[in-house]
Structure formats: structure tokens, C-alpha cells
Amino acid sequence: MASGSWMSLETSFPDRSHGFDGSTALELTGTDRVGLLSEVFAVLADLQCDVVDAKVWTHNGRIASLISVKDCNSGSPINDSQQIDRIKSRLRNILRGDNDIRSAKTSVSLAITHTERRLHQMMFADSDYGRKPVLQCREDSPVVTVQNWAEKGYSVVNVQCKDRAKLLFDVVCTLTDMQYVVFHATINTVEDKAYMEFYVRHTDGTPISCEAERQRVVQCLRAAVERRASDGVRLELCTSDRQGLLANVTRTFRENGLNVTRAEISTTNDIARNVFYVTDAIGNVADPKIIETVREKIGLGELKVKELPLIYHEREEAAVGVGGAVLSLGSLLRKNLYNLGLLIKSYS
């Protein structure tokens, strides 16, 4: 599949998982490269767009981003068609790069978007799962197997990987996007390892039918696990929000050879609370001396570092993760899967 870029714009009302006022939502996908995020934020600042919320994922050399912006002068959503066209044109040129020739798509709606759900859909549609990994396989790469249980008419999907927050959500979202229904499941954790077994069928009641489909399921579930498990040093920025802040911060990353592999941007009461995961230019662990240089330029009291090679080392109590002892599919897990299915459908 040829590499490409894709973009849409929509006006959205508050996200249930956030709480910011109405804004204009930008959806971006394209080929990742060092400094790309810096260029995106610089263009938005130049066009008088205030970034109030954003999430960025990268995987297998691709980037997907959801960015919510307002007009920095009025504080209102950007509804002017000419301004939207200018934003689209400038960002499209950045996302295309040297080889991205796929035409951009545009939509305008008043939809409510669940950002993490949407990021999975964007990367799935971009076929990131079928692209060559940027880095060599690690010892902790997820192991996925698929077998058919002919007597019962199920396909049995096994996923083994490091446990982390929102792991179950990510896997079930992907199975749902692929038009599979989970009928039974067994979930287990041993120390920091997660073991998940799902009994699935297509929405029409049939199991997985051929080797090509089996391989596609394996690829897609590996991608679902890896997208959120970002490599890199976690940098946390907390400071007063101001115009051009993100452009300046990400430019400093770029000028010092740091690549942003994942980012979470939020603004509350004029306070910017941003998280960046950074590596060196080729995806290896960043030099601590460079990290300190960047901190000194941005502000030691504003930019703090926490060494987390992978995001799954975080244990957020409120996150949808896999934890506890063995959970055979009884009434409790069946209810949880049913509720998760309703959540997923409500954001489809």
C-alpha cells in the first residue's frame, strides 16, 4: 500500500473523556518523521489556532493525531470555511512529505469523539499493522495466536503481552472494528504479564475462515497492543498556557534531535498539562545529556522527566486495564464485556 496522508476537520462539542468547550477537531494521519509535530504546531500557531487538547500516537512509521483547536482571538470554534481551507492546505502540505501523495479528505460535523477509540480507528484504516516496524522486534513484543474450535464454531484468539492500563479496551476495540463478536473470554495476569483468551465469531456467526484472515487478526492485535505502549522518555510539561507554547516546545525537541513518539496535550483553566514520550531520531533511548539540555532551554521547573521505556509501566487506577487474578467468563466478566461493547458501539 502506498504511503499517504489523510486529514479531516470537524466541529465537536465536549468529549465525554475530557471537558473542554466546543472546538474544531482536526484528524491527521501520515508518515511520521522527526520534527513533524513541531511543523504541525507551528502552522497552527501561525494561523491563530489555539490548541486546547490533542493526542498523538505513532506506530510502524505512521502518525495519527486528534487535535482540538479554537480561534486564539475569540476563543470560539473555527467555523469560517475560508480559514478551514487554509488550515487544510497548510497541514496537507506538511503531511504529504516527499512520498505521501494520497489526497486529503475533509468532513464537518457536530459529532462527539472518543479520542482513543478514534485513534485506533484511524490507524487501523491507515493499515499501520501491515507496515514494517521501525525498530527490531523486542523480547517483550506481544504474542498473538489464532486457532479454530471447529466443534463449537468459535475462533480462539490468545494474546500474551506485558500488562498495562487500558490493555483490554485496546484489544476489544480492535476486535470490534474488525467485525468480530466476543462470546467468551478468560483473563489472567502473572506479575507484569497479561494472558487473554477470546472466543470470537464474525458478526454473521461464522469463525475465521482462512489463513490470510488469521494472519490479519494477528497483525491487527499486535498493533493494538503496541500503539499505546510507546517507547521513550516521558517528559511532563506543566506551565501557564500561552500562544505558540507547543510550537516552541516541540521545536526545541526537534532542534536537539528528539522525536515525539506519543503525546497527550490538555489545557485546564489556562494551565497547560502536556505529556511527551521522546526518543532519539532513529527510535533509540534519548541521551540523558540531551534531555537535560532540553529541560534547561524550556525550564527545569516546567519540564520534568520520568524514565519510562514503555507506557505500560504506568498503573492508573481509573484505567481499563487487565489486573487481578484469573477471571473466567462468568456473570461479572460477561457484564463487563457487554458494557464495554456498548461503550464501543456508542462511539462507532
Please indicate, yes or no, whether residues 237 and 199 belong to a single structural domain of this protein: no
Give the number of domains in the chain. 2
What letter would DSSP give residue 21?
P
Q: Clarify whether residues 29 and 127 are in a common domain.
A: yes
Same domain, 31 and 92: yes
Contact 38, 250 (CB under 8 A): yes
Residues above pLDDT 90, as percent of the chain: 53
Q: Which of 269, 287, 306 is the last residue of a domain?
A: 306
| Cβ neighbour number for residue 125 with a 10 Å cutoff | 12
Q: Are residues 127 and 153 in the same domain?
A: no
Q: Which of 227, 254, 278 is the last residue of a domain?
A: 227
Q: pLDDT tens digits, residue range 227-267?
A: 987 678 999 999 999 989 999 999 999 999 999 999 999 99
344 located within any domain = no
Say yes or no: 193 and 53 in one domain.
no
In a domain? residue 153 = yes
Q: Is residue 63 in a domain? A: yes
CA distance 33 to 281: 8
- pTM score, whole prediction: 0.81
Rounded Cα distance, 333 and 198, in Å: 12
Is the domain of 151 the same as that of 219?
Answer: yes
Residues 28 and 125 grouped into a single domain: yes
> Is residue 282 in a domain?
yes
Residue 317 lies in a domain: no
Q: Please say whether the beta carbons of 197 and 185 come within 8 A.
A: yes
Q: What angle do CA 322, 20, 227 make, to 5 degrees?
A: 35
CA-wise closest residue to 91 among 176, 5, 166 = 5
Residues 71 and 42 in one domain: yes
73 and 106 inside one domain: yes
161 and 124 part of one domain: no
Q: For 194-217, write each residue's pLDDT tens digit.
A: 999 999 999 999 999 999 999 999
| DSSP-derived 3-state class of residue 302 | coil
Mean pLDDT of 131-151: 80
Closest residue by Cα to residue 172 from 140, 202, 142, 198: 198
Residues near 79 by Cβ (< 8 Å), separated by ≥ 6? 11, 24
Nearest to 198 by CA among 329, 61, 289: 329
Shared-domain flag, residues 173 and 301: no
Quote the domain boundaries for residue 285. Answer: 24-131+231-306
Please tell me whether residues 111 and 241 are part of one structural domain.
Answer: yes
Phi, psi of 305 (to 5 degrees): -115, 145
Q: Are 87 and 9 in contact (CB under 8 A)?
A: yes
Q: Sorting pLDDT into bands at 50, 70 and 90, what band is 93?
A: confident
Taking the C-alpha atoms of residue 219 and residue 127, their distance in angstroms, rounded to an integer, is 10
* Residue 96, pLDDT score: 75
Q: Give the 3-state secondary structure of residue 338.
A: helix
For residue 320, pLDDT over 90 is answered with no
pLDDT digits (tens, 9 = 90+) for 283-306: 888 999 999 999 999 999 999 987
Instruction: Look up residue 232 and give its DSSP letter.
Output: S
CATH number at residue 155: 3.30.70.260
Mean pLDDT (whole number) for 98-115:
50
Of the candidates 3, 9, 1, the one whose C-alpha atom is nearest the C-alpha of residue 27 is 9
Averaged over 25-42, what is the pLDDT? Answer: 91
Cell numbers 496522508 correspond to 5
- Whether the predicted pLDDT of 179 surpasses 90: yes
